[in-house]
Structure 1
Amino acid sequence: MTTKAYETADETPEEISPYDLPGEWFVIHSYSGYENKVKANLETRIKSMHMEYRIFDVHIPMEDVVEIKSGKKVTVSRKVFPGYILVRMELDDDSWYAVRNTPGVTGFVGGNNKPTSLSRREVERFLGVRKEEERAKPRFKPAWEVGETVQVVAGPFADFNGVIETINLDQSKVVVLVNIFGRDTPVELGFDDIRKN
């Protein structure tokens, strides 16, 4: 009796946490909007100073967000923490100096003398270690806020104006207070059923 290699190949290996990789994760601060430039500067500096064996990874946490632009849903990537960059490194005087003196880096998050490394929970949360079903669905960023007046564009309340009372991102719904017969009446609507006034 022979066994085929592909019979056991369908077992999926367990995903390795970024926390378990060599080094510790630290957060550095940069000017907001310059994160990509600072990352490129730091990666160039790591190579030129031969620090690849002490500074392992430079990462800008990103997330997919659904925004409504011109009435259409568009998925865009945005920085989770504008102005902050994650660095995985072995912290010593040389690696600290290399990172700290990179153009655009304003400092480490934590104490001035000794930066604080991230915990396992923080690393996994910031780097997006999630279950597969959570990873597949981008977050929606509504174009409106609680308290904002919107126009209902679909359903029995079409052409009515109302004030947003609550926003439920998980269900893609809002509760809008619509004035019906002189009374504010809460109406649950989908994101597609309203637009900015």
Structure 2
Amino acid sequence: MMMQHKGMTGAPIATGARDGFENRMRRITARNLRAASMKVTEMNPNLARWYCLVVKRGHEFDVENSLKEANVEAFMPSERVVFVRHGRKIKSDRPSFPGYVLVRFVPSNEAFAGIINLKNVFDLVGGASGYHVIKDADVDVFKRISRGEDVTRVATDKTIGDGSEAEITLGPFAGFKCVVTGVKWCRQAKASVRIHVEGRAFDIDSMPLAFLKKL
């Protein structure tokens, strides 16, 4: 006679295996992130580079905080906005480039693996031959803006519109050629653009029109 074991199912075993795998991956990610930590950066400052992460929209601050908690240098360009809700003025910070966060570390296989496997991170901007490296000077522009310092203003080309081809001259995407997919005219005109990196397309919203030079 076959004995029945009441209450035994396969679900707890599967769940336990999944939890074990997830815990193991978290430990591996944490170990790899140590290779990207500021401790390593401070020991090798000349080797450290700024990169641009592609992250889940709406989670830019979460990614920045997770990196900082792991002692990895991160910076998310943001801007202060004021809006009215129920008759009250509310101030809030929003990402200057939704879907992207900047990170600085000494490049290594372990560091890249730790960064890419972080929650809400999809990839880094780049192609088959390597990831896009951002110049320190281009990051400093946004750091000065975030500190409220005056930054040299650049004239806006009002002939730029949908379909215009342009070169990005300032900021973390400086040097890329792009196609303008939309323009929002306001006090600080912004454009939506698309860049191509070795066959891969990256869409960028809220690109200051002053950062674009029409080709």
Give the shorter-chain TM-score range.
0.3 to 0.5
Query: More helix by proportion, 1 or 2?
Result: 2
Pair member with larger Rg? 1
What is the TM-score of this pair, normalised by structure 1?
0.45
